[in-house]
Amino acid sequence: MSAPVTEKKSGFDIRDLKNLFGGGGSLKQFGILGALIVIIIFFQIVTGGKTLQPGNIINLVQQYSYILILAIGMVMVIIAGHIDLSVGSVAAFTGIIVAMAMRDFGIPWWAGVLLGLVIGALIGAWQGFWVAYVGVPAFIVTLAGMLIWRGANQFIGDSATVPVGQGFTVIGKGYLPEIGPNFGGYFSFNNLTILLGLLVVAVLIANEVRGRRTRKVMGAAADPLWISVLRVVILGVVVMVAAYLFATGRPGTSFPVSGIILAVLVVAYSFLTNSTIIGRHIYAVGGNKHAAELSGVNSKAVNFFVMANMSVLASLAGMIFVARSQASGPQDGVGWELDAIAAVFIGGAAVAGGIGTVAGSIIGGLVMAVLSNGLALQGVGSDLVQVIKGLVLLIAVGIDVYNKTQGRPSLIGLMGRRNKPDATTTRSDDNTSAAVTPGGGTPDTATPADIQK
């Protein structure tokens, strides 16, 4: 028998604000989003408005899109309880192979991209085999991979720089093209970028309406209407302001192609981790491998998938970097794995696995990107930038570990205790990043039927 529909009061209740951006978020997830906003405002002030200038944010997306792509794959690896130290070397190895193939064999740029993805898949299958089916820890396998593929890059390329053609550079330096009329003045912008922003706003509205309709059909209590409206308005304003900034850069620039690739990957992998069987299995294996196996989850297949997928994304990131640099070199990819791992942990992933989100990792990566960019605008040397980034990572993870050892619930969790839980879902205070099953448990506590759904 289905649960009766619970209607929330339509009046204002300050406690409803916890649901403004999804509710149930952990203190760390909400805190890092707040930290990103504070960092942007701080550098916008101290740099005299340079941080949010169109040219700077366009450059920021192009500079750090490959790290954010790595973070998407790395969060899945870390959720499954592993680590991948080889991503920078895999990216560099793929870059030199693709660059030499286009130079020496004259293959078109799109064939070069496909070649790079195939190389990434083969490398990922090799490393995934050792991790999943031989049982060698991923740390050791990818440490070996870091040495193997770095050496292979320098051996094949003879430690030289190999340029790439102009067609290939579109994935790293390209922008949305100019179409339609230019009205001049404040209305002089890239029309496609503005249309892209409007499309995103339309999707946000459609998702909100669909979400409310779904909760009503399921008999779950929906948020007050004013919360839904406020959420859409805030997100819509942010999206359109960002779209306007991207659209009003210097002539010939707009939203970068690398940013579009990143956005597509974020949507696709968010869906994969949140709404598919393989996504649930990744969380289940990372949360409790033995319980997942008893529930029928093929942990070997899961481990093989996350490792293979990581190398494919590393290859894509490497090609985007080479396209932006217009050449592949022996020092490409150095330290990338550390930046990607830092982004994931700052974004709320747990060191022990089982917890993490694609969105959180992107936010964590943006924190590092804006921090590096702002310090560079201030003329801070690269040595001090590394020191500050290291301290940010240490403090972020340290606070998370300390709160867990003290048994402290998140701020959102404390707010949620004042209200009765929904009839259909139950979330733990500090494990909200993990997938929530229809039965109300995370993968650590889910029933076999929940994990298989």
Question: Considering only 23-32, 104-113, 418-427, 440-449, which range has the smallest mean pLDDT?
Answer: 418-427
pLDDT surpassing 70 at residue 451:
no
pTM reported for the whole predicted model: 0.83
The per-residue pLDDT for 8 is 53
Longest dimension (CA), the chain: 70
The per-residue pLDDT for 398 is 79
371-419 confidence digits (pLDDT tens): 999 999 988 888 888 898 888 888 877 776 776 676 654 332 333 333 3
Mean pLDDT of 38-52: 92
pLDDT surpassing 50 at residue 110:
yes
Question: Considering only 65-74, 161-170, 204-213, 435-444, which range has the smallest mean pLDDT?
Answer: 435-444
Q: What are phi and psi of 419, to 5 degrees?
A: -110, 155
The answer to whether residues 188 and 248 touch, using CB atoms and an 8 Å cutoff, is: yes
Q: Give the pair of three-digit tokens for residue 175.
A: 């922008």
Distance of CA 296 to the CA centre of its chain: 29
Query: What Rg, from alpha-carbon coordinates, does the chain have?
Result: 23
Closest by CA position to 30, among listed 41, 40, 19: 19
336-364 confidence digits (pLDDT tens): 999 999 999 988 888 888 888 999 999 99
Number of Cβ atoms within 10 Å of the Cβ of 375: 18
206-261 confidence digits (pLDDT tens): 988 888 888 888 887 777 888 888 888 988 999 999 999 999 988 888 999 999 99
The per-residue pLDDT for 33 is 78
* Percentage with pLDDT > 70 across the chain: 81
What is the rounded CA–CA span in Å between residue 185 and residue 182? 9
pLDDT surpassing 90 at residue 421:
no
DSSP codes joined into one string, 274-295: HHSHHHHHHHHHHH-HHHHHHT
The answer to whether residues 274 and 283 touch, using CB atoms and an 8 Å cutoff, is: no
Beta-bridge partner residues of 256? 175
Ordered by where they begin, the domains of the chain are: 14-174+256-452 (1.10.3470), 179-255 (no CATH)
Instruction: Indicate the SS3 state at residue 327.
Output: strand
Write the single-letter amino acid at 354: G
The per-residue pLDDT for 444 is 41
> Confidence class of residue 11 from pLDDT cuts 50, 70 and 90?
low
What is the rounded CA–CA span in Å between residue 265 and residue 262? 5
Q: Where are the alpha helices (DSSP H) in 248-335?
A: 257-275, 277-287, 289-294, 299-325
What is the rounded CA–CA span in Å between residue 249 and residue 61? 13
> Confidence class of residue 198 from pLDDT cuts 50, 70 and 90?
very high
